[in-house]
Every structure is written in C-alpha cells, then in structure tokens.
C-alpha cells in the first residue's frame, strides 16, 4: 500500500535514543559490571596469602595506588592499597605469583561484546515492543496505521462452495427477485455486456432491524459462488483522521483483486450520514465518506464488484451516496407479512424437533409485526422451554408461550396479587375483550390471562387478526381506541374507582388518536394536511410536529375529544353487557387464563 507512508521523522529520534542508551551503558554500567567481582581486603590478608603461596596473578598499579591480585584458581579478584614495602616484589616472586598487567580485563572479548552492545539493544527492542503492544491494545488496534498498516478488517466470509442460499431466506420474495438479477449477472456477465447494460454498482437494502438484510447479502454471494467481503460501517470510523479512508481504499483494493465478488457494508449510515456543513463535525467520517464516493466512481461498471449496503435509516444518508451511479438501486426489506412469517417459522423450525400438533399459521397470526430475527428467537425460546420440561419435542403450547415471553416477558412465579387486585385485573382484561368482541370490526380474542409477567403487565388480552391487514379504516382505528379504553371503563363501572393499571392503554390510545389527526387526515378540521412528519420510519417511527403553536393546541384538544368519545362508547358497551361482564370476570378470576373460545362460548351462551 503506497498510500500509507511510514512517518519518517520519528525514526531519526529512535536512532539517536539507541546510540545514547548504548553510550551511557558503556560509560556507566560496564566498569561496574566488570569490577563487580573485585573484593577489597586489607594489606595483612594480602601478605598472609603471599606467605601461604595462595596468590595466582598480581598487578601493582602505582598510579591508582592499589594492588590487584587473584587467588590460585583465578576465580576471585582482590584489591588492596599499596604500602611502603621494599621486599614485596621479592616475596611475591618467591611465592610463585605471576606478574600480570590485565587482571581486570580478563572477561572474554565475546562476553564483553555481548554485554556492552547486544544486551542493551535487546532490552531496548523488548521495551519498545511491550510499549507498542500496550498502545495498540488501548486503541483497540485502531491506530495500526501509526505502525504502518491501516488495513481494513474486511473478511472473506462466504467461501465459494458453502454458504447461505436464497432458500434460507424466507418471505422477502420481492427483495429476492430484485437480487436474483445480480446473481444472474455474476454468473453470466456476457449476456449483459452484449446488450450494453451494466449492473448497478451499489444496491441499498433498507428495512427495520432483523428482517434479513445481512442474510440476503450473504445469499447473493452464496448463490453466485463469489467471495463475500463484509464490513460494518462503524468499523471505518476510527480514532485517527485518515484511518477510515485508508480502510476504504484497502477494502476496494482487496475486492478488485478478488472480482467478481460482493462487498457488503452493514449499517452504512455510520459513515454515510448527510454532511451538514457544520464546523467541528466528524472530519474522520466525512473523509471516509468522500473516499467511499471516490472509490465507487473509480471502478468500471463491469468490473464485477457489486456493493451491497444495509441501513435502517435511509433518510439520513447523504444524497451523494444514493444518487444514480453509486447506490442507485434501493431494495426494501420490510417486516414479513403473514405468509412470510409462516415461511420464516418453517425455515427455522427445521432445526428443532416438533410434535405433530404445531400449527404454523396460527403462530404466524399471533406473532403479527414480528421480524425474522424475532421469529427465529421465538422458535428457539420454544425449544428451550421443551428442554426445560424434559421433553424431546417442541409443542404448539411451547410456541404460544414463547410468543408471550417475547411480547410480555416470563411469567412471574411468585408475584402475589391481593384478592382485590386480582379482581380488578380480571375485570380490566374482560373489559378490553368484551368491548373488542362487541364491536363488529374488532379482531377476535385469542387468549386472556391475569398471570403477572416480568415486563410488569399484570394481565393481558391477546387479539389475533384473522388475515393480514394493509389498510385500516377510520372506524377500525376508533374501535381499537375504544377497546384500549375498555379496561379502565370496566374498573370505573364495577368499582367506581380507577387504578394505575391502564397506563400502557392510555399511551397507545393517545398515540393512535394523535396519528389519526396529524398524519392520517382523519379529522374534519384539518382535512388532508400533515401536521406531523415521520422520521426514523424503521426505528420506532419518531414524529416531529410541523405546525404552529396554535394548531398544536387545537390538535391536543381534538386528541382528547376523540379518546373521550371512544371511552364513553366503551362504558356504554359494558353497561349494556353488565351481566356478561360479571360472569366472564368471575370465570377469569377463577381460571386465571382462558382461551378465546371459552370467552366466546360464555358470551354467546
Ligand atoms: P438485519 O441484517 O436485517 O438486521 P439479519 O440478516 O442479520 O438482519 O437477520 C438476523 C437473523 O434473523 C438471521 O440470522 C436469521 O436467523 C433471522 N432472519 C431474519 N430474516 C429472516 C428471513 N427472512 N428468513 C429467515 N431467517 C431470517
């Protein structure tokens, strides 16, 4: 990689530091090392050793005023001061001592070289390595460029033979159709070149989390038998400015070498956010985005590198990124419909053992609004439940319970409600169900339970739509609001007092009625004017008001009026069915959990 240069200047500093360390070591440490073994003794010891003929070598250093000598085996070196002693030389001679000029420098030249030059360099390198490792760890390996790398972490995920196929991705037929063209192109590019058609360079998969975008990208690679590079947008955003851009270059370099191939960038909004021109923005992100734009322009239409990217926030992407010639195709990957949910359940159910009573259609209906990932989770939860109960097969009941776990959390085994509370909760839930059942357009009740859940719900009424709904009429929404107020209405009617149990109902009812007025154009006064805009369509759907403060006041008033009207309607329905209300609440109080069929049987009896 020629674009990432080694920083030159610091190297000179390294050399200087190495030299300084070596010099210091030789000046200060070496004499200490070599003199270490010299033992200071007094003159009488020296004389005694001479007389006992225990001296091996001797060196008289007149200028230092000292005598160095060794024992007979030359293992230890001694030192003593010079005393005026004229016979000394003769006596030493007689004792058989050897006169030498280099007692101290007797260390072997190789050893001395090793100690004075090689050892300090080794220590220096060791410290350097340790420090760099520590720094790398601290930066999460991010500043690898400082050490001359700057590689992208793009991995080759799917090897040509094994891999995810389109058949593993259930539902999402439109997305699959769309992507099948890419697969065909990668198999047979000649066909397209002949006509002069070129494949889109980039395809943007947009949709809520967990709908199978990553899976689809992998499936395209698996179906086309080409290498699959995958990197997440956030991996480009680094601590140092310029790192992300280097990674983008590296990724594309790798991809071009491996073409034809698929490059998948997950969560592309991490780098592809709109550049807003504010000072002090994220420079690193902008540089990375610019590099990505440049790279996408840089390669030929028919180079065989196809970029797939996924995001849940398409509205936040920079327009330069989504213009034709870059990510010019947008493939929506929406939440699965009823049929899609059933297929996804079946795909994942292949991995577990099932009993014969399982009805996927019913489970799919109960799990309305669930994403692919949630459905996969439901299947796994059910299998875990079977294991917990020491069963070899997963049953329908396991699956139904696991949906409830996903919706409302686990059953609270030892939450003890007082008798009064339990009665209130029973009336509350029957209130919802009764209002729902008495309004012709409401979906039938599937199950009512007053067993507390870990999510905090003390009970709930599960409604299941018979078929898939794409449109909701004004009446249907109104009825839904009435159903939501039904719980509180029953409490008022029977106990004459109200509790905190309705907070979630209140929230939902308010949101629905507000949406009717501000977004669906269902109020007479505002006609078809949008008072609210939806941002973050795939992530919870936040809204922002787009109207004057005066209008806001009017909207609030209308929201209140709408909910009030439906609340009154719910109270009226319950008043008319008071006997059934008491009967059903008593039944639920005793049983704690009743099915929709039991409910309807009592209601219609
Ligand atoms: P996304 O990238 O859209 O967030 P993924 O592709 O990572 O979602 O999906 C997460 C998991 O959910 C997958 O591993 C798979 O088990 C399951 N899943 C999601 N959608 C589908 C689908 N359409 N068919 C089968 N499984 C799915």
Q: How many angstroms separate the CA atoms of 510 and 506, rounded?
A: 6
- 164 C-alpha to ligand 1 centroid (Å): 11
CATH architecture of 38-106: 2-Layer Sandwich (3.30)
**Residue nearest atom 9 of ligand 1, based on CA coordinates:** 212
Q: Are 256 and 298 in contact (CB under 8 A)?
A: no
- Beta-bridged to residue 366, according to DSSP, are none
- 210 C-alpha to ligand 1 centroid (Å): 5
Residue closest to 105 by CA, chosen among 13, 25, 188, 35? 35
CATH number for the region 155-332 comes to 3.40.50.300
Q: What is the DSSP letter of 461?
A: E
Ligand 1 site-directed mutation target among 373, 374, 377, 378, most atoms within 8 Å of CB? 373
The token duo for 451 is 């067993």
- 214 C-alpha to ligand 1 centroid (Å): 7
Please state the rounded mean pLDDT for residues 287-295. Answer: 84
Tell me: pLDDT of 358 over 70.
yes
Which numbered atom of ligand 1 lies nearest the CA of 218? 6
Which of 123-137, 154-168, 272-286 is predicted most confidently?
Answer: 123-137
- 213 C-alpha to ligand 1 centroid (Å): 7
Burial class (CB in 10 A: 0-12, 13-18, 19+), 436: buried
Which numbered atom of ligand 1 lies nearest the CA of 343? 24
* pLDDT top residue among 467 and 322: 322
Which of 361-375, 429-443, 482-496 is predicted most confidently?
Answer: 482-496
Ligand 1 site-directed mutation target among 175, 212, 217, most atoms within 8 Å of CB? 212
- 50 C-alpha to ligand 1 centroid (Å): 93
Task: Identify the active-site residue in 59, 295, 343, 429.
Answer: 429
Run of H or E including 527: none
- Beta-bridged to residue 155, according to DSSP, are 230
**Residue nearest atom 5 of ligand 1, based on CA coordinates:** 212
The token duo for 430 is 């029957």
Which numbered atom of ligand 1 lies nearest the CA of 170? 24
CATH architecture of 419-603: Up-down Bundle (1.20)
Which numbered atom of ligand 1 lies nearest the CA of 205? 3
Please state the rounded mean pLDDT for residues 347-352. Answer: 90
Residues 6+ apart with CB under 8 A from 514: 532, 555, 559
Which numbered atom of ligand 1 lies nearest the CA of 216? 6
**Residue list, ligand 1 pocket, CB within 6 Å:** 169-172, 209-215, 310, 344, 347, 372-373, 376
- 575 C-alpha to ligand 1 centroid (Å): 47
**Residue nearest atom 17 of ligand 1, based on CA coordinates:** 373
Tell me: pLDDT of 444 over 60.
yes
Residue closest to 429 by CA, chosen among 543, 214, 594, 561? 594
Q: How many angstroms separate the CA atoms of 531 and 526, rounded?
A: 9
Which numbered atom of ligand 1 lies nearest the CA of 217? 6
Q: Name the pLDDT band for 517 (thresholds 50, 70, 90).
A: very high
DSSP 235-296: HH--SSTTHHHHHHHHHHHHHHHH-SEEEEEESTHHHHBPP---TT--HHHHHHHHHHHHHH
Q: Name the pLDDT band for 587 (thresholds 50, 70, 90).
A: very high
DSSP 469-484: -S---HHHHHHHHHHH
Which numbered atom of ligand 1 lies nearest the CA of 266? 2
Please report, to the nearest 10 degrees, the dihedral formed by the alpha carbons of residues 569, 571, 573, 574 taken in order.
170
Q: Are 434 and 486 in contact (CB under 8 A)?
A: yes
Q: How many angstroms separate the CA atoms of 206 and 239, rounded?
A: 28
- 263 C-alpha to ligand 1 centroid (Å): 18
- 216 C-alpha to ligand 1 centroid (Å): 8
Ligand 1 site-directed mutation target among 210, 333, 340, most atoms within 8 Å of CB? 210
Q: Are 228 and 159 in contact (CB under 8 A)?
A: no
Q: Name the pLDDT band for 224 (thresholds 50, 70, 90).
A: confident
Pairing of strands 77-81, 66-71: antiparallel
- pLDDT confidence of residue 158: 42
Residue closest to 566 by CA, chosen among 422, 398, 405, 442? 442
Tell me: pLDDT of 193 over 70.
yes
Q: How many angstroms separate the CA atoms of 179 and 166, rounded?
A: 10
Find out whether the peptide bond into 260 is cis, omega within 30 degrees of 0. yes
DSSP 107-121: S-HHHHHIIIIIHHH
Listed in order, the ranges of the chain carrying CATH 3.30.720.210 are 38-106
CATH number for the region 338-406 comes to 1.10.8.60
**Residue nearest atom 1 of ligand 1, based on CA coordinates:** 210
Three-state SS across 343-383? HHHHHHHCCCCECCCCCHHHHHHHCCCCCHHHHHHHHHHHH
Neighbours of 133 (CB within 10 A): 10
Q: Can you tell me whether residue 333 is helix, strand or coil?
A: coil
The token duo for 161 is 């033979």
pTM of the entire predicted model? 0.67
Q: Can you tell me whether residue 61 is helix, strand or coil?
A: strand
Q: What is the DSSP letter of 410?
A: S
Tell me: pLDDT of 564 over 90.
yes
Which numbered atom of ligand 1 lies nearest the CA of 336? 23
Q: Name the pLDDT band for 164 (thresholds 50, 70, 90).
A: confident
- 468 C-alpha to ligand 1 centroid (Å): 21
Strand order in the sheet with 38-40: 38-40, 77-81, 66-71, 55-61, 98-99
Give the phi and the psi of residue 578 in degrees, each rounded to 5.
-55, -40
Which numbered atom of ligand 1 lies nearest the CA of 310? 2
Q: How many angstroms separate the CA atoms of 60 and 66, rounded?
A: 6
Ligand 1 site-directed mutation target among 376, 381, 406, most atoms within 8 Å of CB? 376
**Residue nearest atom 4 of ligand 1, based on CA coordinates:** 210
- pLDDT confidence of residue 513: 94
**Residue nearest atom 27 of ligand 1, based on CA coordinates:** 372
Which of 100-109, 113-122, 255-264, 386-395 is predicted most confidently?
Answer: 386-395
Residues 6+ apart with CB under 8 A from 210: 371, 372, 373, 374
For the chain, state the CA radius of gyration: 41
- 372 C-alpha to ligand 1 centroid (Å): 5
Please state the rounded mean pLDDT for residues 427-444. Answer: 83
- 140 C-alpha to ligand 1 centroid (Å): 29
CA dist 208 to 95, 146, 268, 310, 345, Å?
A: 100, 38, 14, 10, 18
The token duo for 555 is 């909207």
Listed in order, the ranges of the chain carrying CATH 1.10.8.60 are 338-406
- 64 C-alpha to ligand 1 centroid (Å): 86
User: Would residue 429 show up in a list of annotated catalytic residues for this protein?
Assistant: yes
Q: Name the pLDDT band for 443 (thresholds 50, 70, 90).
A: low
Pairing of strands 98-99, 55-61: parallel
The alpha helices in 88-241, defined as continuous H runs, are 88-95, 109-113, 119-138, 173-187, 189-195, 213-224, 233-236
**Residue nearest atom 7 of ligand 1, based on CA coordinates:** 214
Pairing of strands 261-266, 228-232: parallel
Listed in order, the ranges of the chain carrying CATH 1.20.58.760 are 419-603
Ligand 1 site-directed mutation target among 167, 211, 379, most atoms within 8 Å of CB? 211
Listed in order, the ranges of the chain carrying CATH 3.40.50.300 are 155-332
Indicate the range of 27-31, 265-269, 555-559, 589-593 predicted with least confidence.
27-31
Residue closest to 458 by CA, chosen among 407, 411, 511, 522? 411
* CA dihedral sign, ordered 26, 29, 31, 37: negative
């Amino acid at each position: 990689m020629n674009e990432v240069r080694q920083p030159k200047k610091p190297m000179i500093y390294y050399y200087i530091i190495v030299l300084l360390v070596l010099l210091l070591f030789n000046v200060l440490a070496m004499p200490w090392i070599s003199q270490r073994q010299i033992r200071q003794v007094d003159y009488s010891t020296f004389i005694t050793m001479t007389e006992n003929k225990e001296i091996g070598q001797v060196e008289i250093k007149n200028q230092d005023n000292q005598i160095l000598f060794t024992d007979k085996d030359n293992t230890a070196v001694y030192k003593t001061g010079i005393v005026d002693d004229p016979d000394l030389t003769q006596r030493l001679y007689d004792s058989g001592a050897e006169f030498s000029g280099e007692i101290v420098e007797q260390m072997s030249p190789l050893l001395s070289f090793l100690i004075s030059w090689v050892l300090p360099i080794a220590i220096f390198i060791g410290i350097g390595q340790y420090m760099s490792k520590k720094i790398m760890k601290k930066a999460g390996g991010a500043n690898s460029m400082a050490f001359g790398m700057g590689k992208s972490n793009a991995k080759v995920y799917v090897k040509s033979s094994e891999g995810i196929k389109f058949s593993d991705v259930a539902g999402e037929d439109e997305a699959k159709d769309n992507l099948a063209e890419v697969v065909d192109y990668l198999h047979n590019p000649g066909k397209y070149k002949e006509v002069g058609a070129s494949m889109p360079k980039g395809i943007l998969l947009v949709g809520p989390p967990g709908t199978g975008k990553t899976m689809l990208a992998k499936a395209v690679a698996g179906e086309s038998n080409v290498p699959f590079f995958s990197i997440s947008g956030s991996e480009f955003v680094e601590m140092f400015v310029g790192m992300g851009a280097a990674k983008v270059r590296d990724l594309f370099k790798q991809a071009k070498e491996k073409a034809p191939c698929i490059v998948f960038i997950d969560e592309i909004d991490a780098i592809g956010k709109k550049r807003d021109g504010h000072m002090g923005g994220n420079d690193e992100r902008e540089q990375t985005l610019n590099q990505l734009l440049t790279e996408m322009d840089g390669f030929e239409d028919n180079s065989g590198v196809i970029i797939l990217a996924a995001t849940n926030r398409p509205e936040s992407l920079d327009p330069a990124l989504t213009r034709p010639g870059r990510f010019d195709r947008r493939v929506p990957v929406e939440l699965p419909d009823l049929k899609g949910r059933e297929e996804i359940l079946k795909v994942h159910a292949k991995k577990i053992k099932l009993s014969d009573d399982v009805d996927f259609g019913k489970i799919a209906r109960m799990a309305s609004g669930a994403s692919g990932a949630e459905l996969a989770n439901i299947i796994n939860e059910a299998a875990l439940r079977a294991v917990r109960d020491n069963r070899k097969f997963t049953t329908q009941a396991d699956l139904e319970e696991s949906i409830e776990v996903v919706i409302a959390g686990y059953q609270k085994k030892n939450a003890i409600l007082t008798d009064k509370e339990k009665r209130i909760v029973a009336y509350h839930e029957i209130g919802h169900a009764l209002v729902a059942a008495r309004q012709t357009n409401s979906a039938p009740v599937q199950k009512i339970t007053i067993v507390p859940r870990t999510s905090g719900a003390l009970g709930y009424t599960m409604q299941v739509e018979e078929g898939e709904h794409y449109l909701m009429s004004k009446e249907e929404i109104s009825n839904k609001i009435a159903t939501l107020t039904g719980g509180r209405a029953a409490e008022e009617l029977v106990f004459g007092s109200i509790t905190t149990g309705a907070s979630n109902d209140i929230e939902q009812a308010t949101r629905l009625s507000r949406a009717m007025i501000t977004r669906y154009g269902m109020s007479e006064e505002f006609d078809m004017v949008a008072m609210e805009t939806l941002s973050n369509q795939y992530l919870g759907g936040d809204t922002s008001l787009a109207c004057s403060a005066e209008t806001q006041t009017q909207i609030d008033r209308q929201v209140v009026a709408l909910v009030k009207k439906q609340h009154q309607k719910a109270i009226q329905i319950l008043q008319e069915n008071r006997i059934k209300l008491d009967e059903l609440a008593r039944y639920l109080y005793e049983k704690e959990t009743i099915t929709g069929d039991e409910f309807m049987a009592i209601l219609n009896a």
